[in-house]
Amino acid sequence: MFLQLTLSGVSQGAIYALIALSLTVVYRSTTIVSFGHGDFVMAGAFLTYVLVVAIGIAFLPASLIAIVAMFLLGVAFSRGLIGPIRGGPHVGLALMSISFGFTLRGIARTVWGREVLPMPRVFDIDPIFIGSVVITGDALFIISIVAVLLVVFFTVLHFTDIGKMVQAVYQSERGARLIGIDVERFHNFSWGLGAALGAVAGVLIAPISLLHPDLGASFLIKGFAAMTLGGFGSLAGAVLGGLLLGVAEQYSGAYIDTTLIDITAYLLIIAVLLIRPRGLFGRKVVVKV
Amino acid sequence: MHDVLLKITDLHVSYGKKAILRGASFDVRNGECLTLLGANGSGKSTSMNAICGFVKPVSGSISLNGTELAGKGPHTIFKQGVAQVSQARDLFPDLSVEDNLRLGAMQRGKGKAAQVLADIYDRFPRLAERRRQATRTLSGGEQQMVAIGRALMSSPLILLLDEPSGGLSPQFCEEIATIMDQLKSEGVTMLMVEQNLNLAFRAADRFIVLRDGQVVDGGDVAAMAGDHDAIVRNIYL
Ligand SMILES: Nc1ncnc2c1ncn2[C@@H]1O[C@H](COP(=O)(O)OP(=O)(O)OP(=O)(O)O)[C@@H](O)[C@H]1O
Ligand SMILES: [Mg+2]
C-alpha cells in the first residue's frame, strides 16, 4: 500500500516537477512569474490531441511537433508581447502573461467548447508487478521520460559551457552583457524552453487524463506549490518540491481523506509560507510581481 | 599623425529628460592609455556605458576603426573588440574564478582562450591559486583582478576601465598600476576612468576632462608632470 502510493505520487509528482521547473526557468531568466504557464501545458496537450485524433499522426511524432510548436510560441510571445514592455513595471509583465494564457484558453474553448476529450490510449505496456506493487505502463513512461529530461537538463547546466553561460546570466545580467551575451535573445530562448517543458508535461498528461480548456489552472497551482516548497527560484528545489507534492497528495488522500488530494497544494503553500518561507532550498524570498 | 582607434564625435546621452553628455568629443589613439577625469556624476561611467552599448546615445557617433558603434547592441559592440571592466565589476559570484575568466572568451577570442588564460594566471598568480574558488569568496582586490582578466580574455582592441582602483588599498592600487604598465608595454589600447590621480597619471599617456557633458580640457601627461594641482583645480572647481 505504502509503496504503491509512493509510486503513484512520484509519477504524478514528476509532472508537477516538470511544470515547476519550466516556471522556474522563466522566472530565473526574466524574473517574471509566468501566470499563464498552465495554459502552455494545456496547449501542449491539446496540440498533441489534435495531431493524433484529428490528423492521425502517431503519438510520438505528434508530441514532438507539439513541443517544438510550443517552443516557437514561447519565443514569439517573448519577442512580440514581453519584449516591448520589458523594463516596465512588473505587474504589467505578469498581466501580459495572464492575458496570453487566457487567450490560449479561449482559443481552445471556441474550438472544443466545454467538452471533455478523452485521448485514445497510447501505450499498452503491460503493468509490471513487483511483489504487491503494480507499475503501470503510464507511470513507467512518465517517470522515465522526466528522469531522462532532468538528467540532461542538469548535466547541461552544470557541466557544459552553455550551462555556465546560463548560470552567468542568472547571476548577473550586466555581467553577461559585459562578456558579449545577447541577453534579450537569451530571454526569448528561456520563454521558449519554459513553454516547451510545460508542453512536455501536457504531452505526458494527455494520454492519462481528460482534456479540457481549463486544465492548466490546477497545474499552475501545483507548479507554484512545488516551487514554494522547494524554494522559489531554485531549479533543483522545483524538482524536489514537485515530487514531494505528488507523494504528499497520495498520502493525505489515502491516510486522511480523499478530498484532501485536491487541496494539498494550497495547504502546502500556506504551511510553507508560514513555517519556512524560503522553502527547502530557498534563495531570497523576494518575488517581484 | 597618430592613428585613431576610437573616435567619439558630438555624443549626446540622456537618462529620460536628464541630459548627461552634451556633445562630448574625443579620440583614443592606437596603443595609448587615455584617462577620463571629471567630478562625481559628471558622466564618466555613462560615457563608458555608451561606448559599450549599455545606454543608447541620443545622437552622435562612436566609431571604432571606422565602424559605427552608436545604436548597436552590447553583444555586437563586444564582438567588435570593446571590453569593459565596469565600476561595479559585475562578476558571476557563484561561479569559480576559472569559469568567470573562461566565460570572457565565449563570444570572442575563443581560439586564443587557452593561451590568454595561461597569460592571465602568469600575470595574476593569486588567481591561479584560487582558480576553483567561488568568486564571491575573493577579496575586493582579487575580484578586480578577475574582472580585468575576464575582460582581457576576449583579446579586445580596446579595454575600458572604470575606476580600476576604486575602493582598493594602496598596495592593490600598486598592483593594478603594475598590470596596466604591462598591458601598455604589450600595446593594449586603454580608456580609463580613475579618481586616484597618482594611478591615473602613472599609467596614462594623455588625459581629458569631462564637465557639463562636454570635454573641456585635456593634455599630455608628460607635459603636465608635477602639476597635478592645476589639473585638480580644473576638474573639481
Ligand atoms: N541608469 C540611470 N538612470 C538615471 N540616471 C542615471 C543612471 N545612471 C547614471 N545616472 C545619472 O547620470 C549622472 C552621471 O552618472 P555617471 O555614473 O556617469 O557619473 P560618473 O562620472 O561615473 O560618477 P562617479 O565618479 O560617481 O562614478 C549622475 O547624475 C547619475 O545620477
Ligand atoms: Mg562612475
Residue A250 domain flag: no
Task: Determine the pLDDT at residue A288.
Answer: 46
The ranges of chain A with pLDDT < 50 are 285, 287-289
Output the CA angle A210-A211-A213, nearest 5 degrees: 145
Average pLDDT of span B62-71? 95
The one-character DSSP state at B134 is: B
Task: Say how many residues make up chain B.
Answer: 237
A120 vs A52: CA distance, rounded Å: 9
Largest CA distance in chain B: 48
> Could you tell me the three cell numbers for A40?
502552455
Task: Determine the pLDDT at residue A230.
Answer: 95
- To test the contact with chain B by mutation, choose from A159, A165, A179, A185 the residue with the greatest count of B C-beta atoms within 10 A, namely A179
Task: Determine the pLDDT at residue B226.
Answer: 65
Q: Which residues of A touch B102 (CB under 8 A)?
A: 161, 164
Residue A255 domain flag: no
At a CB cut-off of 8 Å and minimum separation 6, what does A140 contact? A125, A128
Q: Which residues of B touch A175 (CB under 8 A)?
A: 90-92
Statement: residue B91 has pLDDT above 50: yes
Nearest protein Cα to ligand 1, atom 4:
B15
Task: Determine the pLDDT at residue A285.
Answer: 47
Are A136 and A127 in contact by the 8 Å Cβ rule? The answer is: yes
Nearest protein Cα to ligand 1, atom 16:
B43
- Closest alpha carbon to B137 in B148, B149, B126, B124: B126
Task: Determine the pLDDT at residue A284.
Answer: 57
Statement: residue B1 has pLDDT above 60: no
Sequential DSSP letters for B7-42: EEEEEEEEETTEEEEEEEEEEEETT-EEEEEE-TTS
Task: Determine the pLDDT at residue B115.
Answer: 93
Residue A258 domain flag: no
> Nearest-CA residue of chain A relative to B100?
A168
> Could you tell me the three cell numbers for A50?
489534435
Checking A207-211 for CB contacts under 8 A at 24+ apart, the result is A207/A59, A207/A119, A207/A120, A207/A121, A207/A122, A207/A123, A207/A138, A208/A138, A208/A142, A210/A116, A210/A117, A210/A118, A211/A42, A211/A45, A211/A46, A211/A49, A211/A116, A211/A117, A211/A118, A211/A119
Contact B75 A182 (CB under 8 A): yes
CA dihedral A215, A221, A226, A228 (to 10 degrees): 170
Domain ranges of chain B: 1-79+196-237
A21 vs A242: CA distance, rounded Å: 9
Mean of pLDDT over chain B:
90
ipTM score of complex: 0.93
A60 vs A48: CA distance, rounded Å: 9
Percent above pLDDT 90 for chain B: 69
Read off the pLDDT band of B167 (50, 70, 90): confident
Grouping H, G, I as helix, E, B as strand and the rest as coil, residue A135 is strand
Q: How far is the CA of B20 from the centre of ligand 1 (A)?
A: 8
Pocket test for ligand 1, best of B17, B20, B209, B211 (most atoms within 8 A of CB): B20
Read off the pLDDT band of B237 (50, 70, 90): low
Read off the pLDDT band of B166 (50, 70, 90): confident
Residue A238 domain flag: no
Which residues does ligand 1 sit against, CB inside 6 Å? B 15, 20, 38, 40-46, 87
- Considering only A1-15, B143-157, B165-179, which range has the smallest mean pLDDT? B165-179
Q: Which residues of A touch B151 (CB under 8 A)?
A: 178
CA A220 to chain centroid: 8
List the alpha helices (DSSP H) in A231-259: 235-251
Phi, psi of B7 (to 5 degrees): -120, 115
- Write down the CATH superfamily of domain B1-79+196-237: P-loop containing nucleotide triphosphate hydrolases (3.40.50.300)
Residue A196's domain comprises: 2-215
Average pLDDT of span B172-199? 86
- Closest alpha carbon to A245 in A34, A8, A41, A44: A8
Nearest protein Cα to ligand 1, atom 7:
B15
Closest CB from A167, A172, A178 relative to B84:
A178
Q: Quote the pTM value.
A: 0.90
B137 vs B147: CA distance, rounded Å: 14
Residue A16 domain flag: yes
Contact B75 A164 (CB under 8 A): no
More confident call, B3 vs A283: B3
CA distance A258 to chain B (A): 44
Q: Which residues of B touch A164 (CB under 8 A)?
A: 95, 99, 102-103
Task: Determine the pLDDT at residue B202.
Answer: 83
Residue B15: beta bridge partners?
B18
Residue A129 domain flag: yes
Domains held by chain A: number: 1
Q: What is the interface size between A and B, counted as CB pairs within 8 Å?
A: 65
A200 vs B230: CA distance, rounded Å: 69
Task: Determine the pLDDT at residue B191.
Answer: 96
Are B56 and B203 in contact by the 8 Å Cβ rule? The answer is: no
